[in-house]
Amino acid sequence: MRKLTPTIGAEIFGVDLSRPLGNQQFQEVHDALMDNLVVFFRDQKMTIDQHKDFGRRFGPLHVHPNAPIAIPEHPEILVIKADEKSKRVAGEEWHTDVSCDLEPPMGSILHAIEVPPYGADTLFANQALAFATLSPGMQRMLRGLDAVHSARDAYSPKMQGIHDRFEGMTVTTSEEANVTQVHPVVRRHAETGADTLFVNQQYTVGLDGFWPHEARPILDRLFAHATQDSFTCRWRWAPGDVAFWDNRAVQHMVMGDVTGHRRLMHRTTVAGEAPIPAR
Ligand code: SIN
């Protein structure tokens, strides 16, 4: 294993994800994920079924509530793609996958099928560190707060016109995306016990019990704090690479520098539980 930075990310060597993981190998991957929050494997030749089997080793698979199903036989595979005409790629804003769900996913596994020669790297940020580096006063205040999450600014009908302008992306918007969920601003990681900041720019739309004009400056400050460079690592993709991240402790984003090249990624998402408040 090789750490990418002192704070987040590690590359794992010698694991073939196309084969079922034995108990010891499973434990090693699991522990590396808990310690490093995102782990990477190079040159994996797994099929879609093998990708799903790897994900299921960590829990039942989650199906994205809003994204269209691109491969009808495999609704658990979220296809993220850009082509020569694309001006953007999905996931360009810092986010935690589907934090607008009642039970947001525990983890996500992204397999690079086709990648551009440069550009569209993915960045990951450590949200335990984001919380730990706030002042004691700020930590105390945040522990008492709940945030409102919704996919309305990504997948609700008001966004359809924007999606239509970006060729290469198929997004179907729906009224269901207007549903909101309330989650603690600080959650306790169910396995490591770490307290993590759980708000993100894409899905967190307010603070429960606050006027919007009161919540906005607090959230904007937290978004900026949580994604500062020293909490992050950055992965430059090659075909066959796999990234597996822990959504309970990580935000991520793809760099919006698509350059007229094709990019095709398959993602499975492992189901999670309702966030545990860290009061
Ligand atoms: C995602 O947001 O899950 C996708 C990130 C990427 O395509 O690099």
Residue 97 a catalytic site member: yes
CA of 74 to the centre of ligand 1 (A): 18
Active-site option among 97, 101, 195, 241? 97
The residues with which 187 forms a beta bridge, in sequence order, are: 196, 277
| Cβ 235 vs Cβ 82: under 8 Å | no
Q: How far is CA 219 from the centre of its chain?
A: 18
CA dist., res. 60 & res. 45, Å (int):
22
CA of 48 to the centre of ligand 1 (A): 17
- pTM check: above 0.85: yes
Nearest atom within ligand 1 for CA of residue 252: 2
CA dihedral 133, 139, 145, 149 (to 10 degrees): 0
Q: Is the CB of 99 under 6 A from ligand 1?
A: no
Q: Which long-range contacts (CB under 8 A, 24 or more apart) does 21-27 make?
A: 21/54, 21/57, 26/57
Nearest atom within ligand 1 for CA of residue 265: 7
What digits encode the pLDDT tens for the residues 46-74? 999 999 999 999 999 999 877 778 899 99
Q: Which of 232, 263, 7, 248 is nearest to 113 (CA)?
A: 263
CA dist., res. 211 & res. 159, Å (int):
24
Best residue among 233, 265, 268, 269 to mutate for probing ligand 1, ranked by most atoms within 8 Å of CB: 265
Q: Is the CB of 265 under 6 A from ligand 1?
A: yes
10 Å Cβ neighbour count for 85? 11
CA dist., res. 188 & res. 275, Å (int):
7
| Cβ 262 vs Cβ 114: under 8 Å | yes
Q: Is the CB of 122 under 6 A from ligand 1?
A: yes
CA dist., res. 188 & res. 194, Å (int):
6
What digits encode the pLDDT tens for the residues 79-129? 999 888 888 888 999 999 999 999 999 999 999 999 999 999 999 999 999
Residue 83 a catalytic site member: no
Give Dmax over CA atoms of the chain in angstroms.
52
What digits encode the pLDDT tens for the residues 206-252? 999 999 999 999 999 999 999 999 999 999 999 999 999 999 999 99
| Cβ 259 vs Cβ 169: under 8 Å | no
Q: Is the CB of 266 under 6 A from ligand 1?
A: no
| Cβ 202 vs Cβ 93: under 8 Å | yes
What digits encode the pLDDT tens for the residues 115-171? 999 999 999 999 999 999 999 999 999 999 999 999 987 777 776 777 776 655 566
Q: How far is CA 16 from CA 4, 51, 96, 152, 210, in A?
A: 20, 11, 27, 39, 49
Q: Is the CB of 80 under 6 A from ligand 1?
A: yes
